[in-house]
Amino acid sequence: MNLLNNSDEAFECQINWLTAIQISLGSFSCVLGYTCFQLTLLEEAEGGFDQFTRSYKSYGVQRMPDNSLVFKEWAPAAEALFLTGDFNGWDNFSHPYTKKEFGKWELHIPPKEDKTPAVAHNSKLKVVVHTRAGERLFRISPWAKYVTRHEKSVIYDWVHWDPPQPYIHPRPQKPRSLRIYESHVGIASPEGKVASYSNFTHNVLPRIKDLGYNCIQLMAIMEHAYYASFGYQVTSFFAASSRCGTPEELKELIDVAHSLGIIVLLDVVHSHASKNTEDGLNHFDGSDSCFFHSGPRGEHSLWDSRLFNYSGWEVLRFLLSNLRWWMEEYRFDGFRFDGVSSMLYHHHGIGSGFSGDYAEYFGLQVDEDSLVYLMLANHILHTLYEDCITIAEDVSGMPTLCCPIQGGGLGFDYRLAMAIPDKWIQILKEFKDEDWNMGNIVFTMTNRRYGEKCIAYAESHDQALVGDKTLAFWLMDKDMYTNMSTSIPMNSVIDRGIQLHKMIRLLTHSLGGEGYLNFMGNEFGHPEWLDFPRVGNNESYHYARRQFNLVDTDHLRYWQLYAFDRDMNRTEDKYGWLAAPPAYISVKHEGDKVIVFERANVIFIFNFHPTNSYSNYRVAVGPPGKYKIKLDSDGIQYGGHGRLDHNTEFFTEPMEFNNLPNSMLSPSSTRAVLSSVKLECNIQLLQ
């Protein structure tokens, strides 16, 4: 594989990369070469990465054509391995593994006399590990494809999952613009319980389709013993969470999403793993290393979890095959990589601030093994699956994260614009409306490197977790309990909250990136916060649910916010500003509290002033002609005041203004946003 070729697509990123290398020639300049070397090793030792990443077909348990079973594990520190379970009456010694080279162990079990497999589908198993210290440990195979637990148990069991008919379904095409609905299956119901895959398929997918989102990002799918970890303390990497249903029910969910033209991304956690031993990877073979670094380097002090040794050959096999498994078996369309900032640096971002100085990104603090792993993962995924989408959750701002690998980058398609939600929370917490700084808001929205695509979002699950609140709750707080009825006039708190909620989301959507993300329920202004059942809240599910019943209640104003979010997405789908080049910003006026920009031939006019409206506000325009309102946040149907006549047409004048050749006069209502498009060019306008 030649990763060193040049292309026009990579040119801008190569410039950024060369600048970075000029600043620090030490730690990072050899990473691309080492990645190529690893690919060469894979070719020589494993027959290429295609075979290497299909190791889920040889490790764990495999049923052969004659119904014999082959069990295979990697446990380099073990003295002996045995298999026990329902099939042998939980005999701990009757089925020993045979030791092979490089710490591998294998066990062959012939079929029963009736030619059926000796281990039945849906029966329980354990690996018995005998350590060199004389311990006997009961473990779950790291390659286990399904694990469950009894209601009163805290330990998961390995369940042999071998259904007779595998599930196969096609993928939809990669969308032009990415509009992501971030989802957690378990909380996707108003009921106080763990919701199911089937509930999501039948009750939530139709909402997502109606809202105009074309991508779902599924959280908490990889099995995690601790529900309150939000899925980020993974115990079984190849198993879909059984608390929401069976693997087939998850496959049905993805299949139905695909039939609706919606792609599905997995929130994959390869940055760390749970410390659990009996049902996790930790101490699988009795040692503190195996899949992880030994000693302090293998521990994350803040997350209380284990850190992978990305230089280990079998660790690479495990993680890269894990990505391939989710793509092949479940037909996911890509991944959002969690905790990338922790992976990139030996300090894991703990106690480190990032100012943008290149010295913070290139030096001995960078974990080159992690970089090589991420480059390998992206190269393999994009080679095997042309339309695969990968997104990096990185708060540090690592340069070239989203540049092509052949240009020296890490190969991600998008990065999360994580500064944007923090900025909105800061503004709502610390500033009066009249003190909002338009220039600072615009800077935060546009502060991204050219050529590296960003996913913008006003809030995600992070902002809704206990200790914080949703944007809607920051804006309206306790008034949401008593004043959201359409049968009574809006008070000043609800009026302000509803108008700003729409404006914040549309400004983020239209200016903040090349993709957009919304966390489930926040589109209609979900109140309160998220808190999973735990000892500290008496195991309550009250805040671990999404109250879709609110938007379904006609006399509550939540449906007005829902309608705006829906029409915002549908308007973007028509005009495609997320896939367009960066916006041309013509106005960021501090006194008027007005922001005006043009993107994808759509004129956006935002008026954040708490009291002032403008009847004839001059707006700079590129293409001359006739413009018409296409989206108006002040519309009655969106909880606005309906102050504009949507039949009005706006004509440009050949009057240069703010460095554009034409301009026009447009109304601008207080706390409202307009989107306008040029009629002859079938362009759009948003408010």
What's the pLDDT at 33? 81
Dump pLDDT digits (tens) for 532-583.
Answer: 999 889 999 999 999 999 999 999 999 999 999 999 999 999 999 999 999 9
Strand partners, 470: none
Write down the mean pLDDT value for the chain.
92
Q: Is 615 within a domain?
A: yes
End-to-end CA distance of the chain: 48
Of the candidates 160, 188, 222, which is a domain's last residue? 160
**Chain length of the chain:** 687
Percent of the chain scoring above 90 in pLDDT: 83
pTM of the model: 0.94
Helices (H), 401-552: 419-430, 438-446, 461-464, 471-476, 479-482, 492-511, 548-551
The predicted-structure confidence for 70-115, as pLDDT tens digits, reads as follows 999 999 999 999 999 999 999 999 999 999 999 999 999 999 999 9
Whether residue 373 is contained in a domain is answered as no
- For residue 627, tell me if it sits in a domain: yes
- Cα dihedral 602, 605, 606, 607, rounded to 10, equals -170
CATH code of the domain containing 629: 2.60.40.1180
pLDDT in tens, 47-61: 999 999 999 999 999
State the residue for tokens 């800061």. 426
**Domain count for the chain:** 2
CATH number of residue 133's parent domain: 2.60.40.10
Between the CA of residue 389 and those of 378, 380, 409, 472, what are the distances in Å? Answer: 9, 12, 16, 30
Confirm whether 95 is domain-assigned: yes
Q: Which one of 123, 140, 160 terminates a domain?
A: 160
Nearest by Cα to 118 from 87, 72, 159: 87
Selection from 572, 222, 265, 272 nearest residue 391 by Cα: 265
What are 661-674's pLDDT values in tens digits? Answer: 999 999 999 899 88
Give CA angle at 578 (575, 582), nearest 5°.
105
> Does the structure show a pLDDT above 70 at 243?
yes
445 lies in a domain?
A: no
pLDDT value, residue 524: 97
Helices 492-511 and 438-446 meet at what angle, rounded to 10?
40
Question: Residue 129 domain-assigned?
Answer: yes
Instruction: Tell me if 592 is assigned to some domain.
Output: yes
Active-site positions read 338, 393
> Is 78 part of any domain?
yes
582: tokens are 């960066």
**From the CB of residue 611, how many other CB atoms can be counted at a distance below 10 Å?**
9
Range(s) of the domain holding residue 602: 582-678
Q: Of 133, 160, 187, which one is at a domain's C-terminal end?
A: 160
